[in-house]
Each structure stands twice: as structure tokens, then as C-alpha cells.
Amino acid sequence: MNKVSIFMKKIAGIMLVTMMLVTCGDVVGNMFGHPLLGSEEIVSLLAALLIAFTLPAAHQERAHIGVDMLYLKFSPRAKKINNIFLGVITTLFFMLVSWECFKYAIDLKRIGQVTAVLELPLFYVLYSVAAGCGFLSLVVGSQLLKIIKEGSHE
């Protein structure tokens, strides 16, 4: 799973650079009276993909924000119980988000929903977000199993 997370993170990096280039190109184009057509759509779609593609790697690297004031006072057993509870909730939540995005993508494909300016099909983005959230649930689930077997995940 680590290789997939790294690959997704690299793709997200490419998306971030693309967002920057599109935004800069739009600003420069506006200065000369020729803005980039659909730049807001491109940046918005890439932002949604960027978030979905970076979540698994961020979770594996523990790059998320945690509130430790109370957690640090927990006993090792309480920390393990807390981590298991949060792991179960997080896994189930992102499985549900993935499933709902997948169902919504099917609906968007069926009705032919596209973006307003460039008329890009939106269902591809939703399928990608569903895949990213689904993979995140697998990452969290695998770490949950590790916590259950080995102990606290700190």
C-alpha cells in the first residue's frame, strides 16, 4: 500500500504544479486581455483530485493534525482503545464517502453532467475521488489491524 500512496502523492504533486501553472497563465493572460478559458474549472477539479489523492499518504505519514492535550494523559490501554475506536470510525466513514461518490459518479455519467465552460465530464473526477477515499479506508483499516495486533499507534 505504501507504493500506491507514494504514486498517488506524486500524481497530486503534478496536479498542484498544474494548478499553479494554470493560475499563473490566467493571471498573465488577464494582463493582456486574454484570460485562460475555463481556468477556474480546471483548478477546481484538480483541487478535488489533489485532496483525494493526498489523504492516504498524509494518513500514513501521520501528517494530520491531532489534539494531544487529553490523549497524552491516557494510559497505554486507553490509547489503544481510543486508536481502535477512531480507526473503525475513520475506516467506515471513508468507505461510506467512497461508496457515495461512486454512486454519484454513476448518476453524473448517466445524465451526462459536464462542466459549464469546457464541458468536461464530471463523473471521472467523482470516480477518482471515490478511489482515493476507498484507498484511504484501506490504509486506515490496515493500520487498525496493526494497532489491534501490536498495540498503540503513536
Q: What tens digit of pLDDT does each residue of 113-139 get?
A: 999 999 999 999 999 999 999 999 999
Q: Do 140 and 89 meet the contact criterion of CB atoms below 8 Å apart?
A: no
Structurally, the chain folds into a number of domains equal to 1
Rounded to two decimals, the pTM is 0.90
> CB neighbours of 53 closer than 8 A, spacing ≥ 6?
8, 9, 11, 12, 15, 128, 132
Which amino acid is it at 25?
A: G
Decide which of 144 and 63 is more confident: 144
Rounded CA-CA distance 121/51 in Å is: 19
The predicted pLDDT at position 69 comes to 82
The predicted pLDDT at position 65 comes to 73
Which grid coordinates belong to 66? 491531532
* Domain carrying residue 107: 2-150
Lowest-confidence pick of 60-64, 103-107, 123-127: 60-64
Secondary structure of residue 65 in the 3-state scheme: coil
Smallest CA-to-CA distance from 120 within 60, 52, 70, 48 is with 48
